[in-house]
Structure 1
Amino acid sequence: MIVGTGGIVRDAHLPAYRKAGFQVTGIYDPDQDRARSVARDWNIPAVFSTLEEAAAADAVFDVAAPPTAHRDILNALPRGASVLLQKPMGLDLAAATAIRDTVRSREMTAAVNFQLRYSPMMLALADAVRSGRLGTLTEIEVRINLVTPWHLFPHLKTNPRVEIVSHSIHYLDTIRALVGDPASAFARSFSYPGSELSDTRTSMILDYGPTLRVLLSINHHHDFGRRFQDAAFRVEGTEGAAQAKLGVLLDYPAGEPDELWLAPRGGPWEQVALSGAWFPDGFIGPMANLQRYASGEDDRLATNVEDAWRTMALVEALYQSSKQAATPLPTE
């Protein structure tokens, strides 16, 4: 049962669930016209008129609502329910903590929809890392230099935080899934002239000690044609390297095909054949894992709220870093 009928539900959740064979038994949104339209387009049998009616359904709940609504929705759902929450887990760490505590107190089985780590390219990359194909990791770099159609996300206009918590959180969560938590973090976020959003460009460095360099360079305003636009996730180690192209971000939401390339030290590069793409295939993983964990088939809920809280703690550290003064240059 899905709570929410925004663009991400149409573009990713429902295509993913149809592809995986998951049955969507009902849908709810305060915008009843939109809910009925989605139900009609996707052959969903029930449109609930209230959240209370939806909560009474015997179902796994997919809460695809804005993060500011998560806690109220959780409190309306049955005690002990299995729930997948759309990312982010609140807009700051205080909200994430409140959501985590609600899940604990209501004894829910809950995960957050961090789906980039489940995309075919990132599953293959993680397998290459685990198998030792890249050796000891020395580099992780995320480079986003493109134009994002922010008009598709009007709800972000009022948010005091945008870029890291709504976009780069995908990369931060995936990095955590690959190499764990950093010891510390540095960031600077920037607004853009004429933009209605608080911040849409960010530079980040994550501290993993003296040999693993991790950095993210994010610019959503490179509106100068496709030639030098980029959406890359690079991982290098002592024995090999990997380069992923996040195709959906280039001309979102139509996008381009995702790519993953691997090379041993000295080359050559070889492209990895991918079965599917981040959108919509990555969205299968979190829901499949939640259902299998709730039924006892999986012994680990990968993006459970406790782990998601750690991703939010990293987001919070980056925002706090961005507010702090940098070291000034000597004057003499």
Structure 2
Amino acid sequence: MPSTLAQSWPVPAAPRPIVVIGAGGIVSDAHLPAYRLAGFPVAGVFDLDPVRAQATADRFETLAFSSLDAALGIEGAVFDLALPPSAHAAVLRQIPEGSGVLIQKPMGADLDGAREILTIARRRKLRAAVNFQLRFAPMMLALKGAVERGWLGRIVDVEMHVNVMTPWDLWPFLQGMPRVEIAVHSIHYLDLIRSFLGDPLGVHAKTLGHPQSAVAQTRTSAILDYGAEVRCLMSVNHNHDFGRRFQDCSIRVEGTEGAAIAKLGVNLDYPRGEPDELWIGRKGGAWRQVELDGTWFPHAFIGTMANLQRVVSGEDASLVSGVEDAWRTMALVEACFESSALPAHPIASLPKDDTLDRE
């Protein structure tokens, strides 16, 4: 099915130089490949580990800055903060006032951290966005377009289903963190759901670990309350180590006139992944597969940076995932953790019947 639906964000007419702060795996796997693919100029990379910074710079033929001050001194730059969440605030306080900056998710380690980042961005007049790039994946932009054209009618059912085997050992820094699954993984799905349905009235959630996993949580169930008409849920299991046959990573968006199912291929056989897919079916018609031009990794990372640059240049009016909106995703994440910590409502005990004894 050839697509007439937009699958990429318009690029800026005159891209500004990008300064990347942090040289971890996500920078080499997604950020810098995306910028190279889009033709965005990269001024250089800084990392507290100079060896890692130099290796990354050499691989992508750019400069390794010798200090943070040198990196932040690039005139007219847009900054890409690919740092652990606890490190964002300190760097944001030093970025030149009024700059454009893209912040790696999550927006702080918790809601207090997100509030601190929001306060800094407001006070320093930063054009700041959080890198919730799943919104910009080709399949999700196409799905958003289908919804906006009314192809699905009124959305009444959304289900995110994940049943995969995730190699958590690839990220050793996650061991010992008290919040893992929702904070670093399912946060993408919660943000995506918000982009389609807005803020829920509330959430019921349970997140927990697994006896064969070293990280705090690897499984999550959540029901998002959107009132009497919309059913919305998320079921996530990162421990299905029984072969590919029944593994799945997909979101279903169902409306009164049609439905769509998107496969998030990168999470299947990670990190090699599989191609993304988008299928759309309408009442009375057959399911049709939308031809996709690109994947979540790395193409979506072009979109977040393109939107930021276009806001800085005046070509876009607003940030899709600006800190004001991203804070609300963080509030939803916090609500999930708070719900998970609450005791479950007890089931009533079977009443005793002593009538037989009396008889």
State the TM-score bracket (shorter-chain normalisation).
over 0.9
Choose from 137, 145, 148 the match for 2:166: 148
Question: 1:226 maps to what in 2?
Answer: 244
- Structure 1 contact 51–76 (Cα < 8 Å) conserved: no
Residue 241 (1) aligns with residue 243 (2) = no
- Structure 1 contact 129–135 (Cα < 8 Å) conserved: yes
Which protein shows a greater Rg?
2
Choose from 71, 76, 81 the match for 1:63: 81
Choose from 211, 233, 251 the match for 2:229: 211
1:266 is displaced (CA, Å) by: 3.9
Residue 200 (1) aligns with residue 215 (2) = no
Residue 128 (1) aligns with residue 146 (2) = yes
1:282 is displaced (CA, Å) by: 0.5
Segments of structure 1 that go 5 or more residues without pairing to the other structure are: none
Residue 302 (1) aligns with residue 320 (2) = yes
Choose from 84, 90, 93 the match for 1:72: 90
Q: Residues 97-136 of structure 1: matches in 2 within 5 Å? A: 97-136=115-154
Aligned Cα RMSD in Å? 0.8
- Sequence identity of aligned pairs in percent? 57
Partners of 2:283 and 2:86 lie apart in 1 by 46
Choose from 271, 286, 302 the match for 1:284: 302
Partners of 1:285 and 1:134 lie apart in 2 by 24
Residue 51 (1) aligns with residue 68 (2) = yes
TM-score, length basis structure 2? 0.91
Q: Residues 151-162 of structure 1: matches in 2 within 5 Å? A: 151-162=169-180
1:50 is displaced (CA, Å) by: 1.5
Choose from 255, 263, 285 the match for 2:281: 263
Question: 2:57 maps to what in 1?
Answer: 39
- Structure 1 contact 187–319 (Cα < 8 Å) conserved: yes
- Which range moves more in the overlay, 162-171 or 258-267? 258-267
Question: 2:205 maps to what in 1?
Answer: 187
Residue 321 (1) aligns with residue 321 (2) = no
Partners of 1:71 and 1:146 lie apart in 2 by 33
- Which range moves more in the overlay, 258-267 or 270-279? 258-267
Partners of 2:174 and 2:313 lie apart in 1 by 36
1:325 is displaced (CA, Å) by: 1.3
Q: Deviations over 1:251-273 (max 9, x none)?
A: 11110000000000244110000
Secondary structure, counterpart of 1:26 in structure 2? strand
1:107 is displaced (CA, Å) by: 1.3
- Cα distance change of structure 1 residues 103 and 237 upon mapping to structure 2, 3 Å threshold: same
1:53 is displaced (CA, Å) by: 1.5
1:49 is displaced (CA, Å) by: 1.5
Alignment-mate amino acid for residue 41 of structure 1 = R
Alignment-mate amino acid for residue 69 of structure 2 = E
Partners of 2:206 and 2:286 lie apart in 1 by 36
1:138 is displaced (CA, Å) by: 1.2
Partners of 1:222 and 1:267 lie apart in 2 by 34
Residue 7 (1) aligns with residue 1 (2) = no
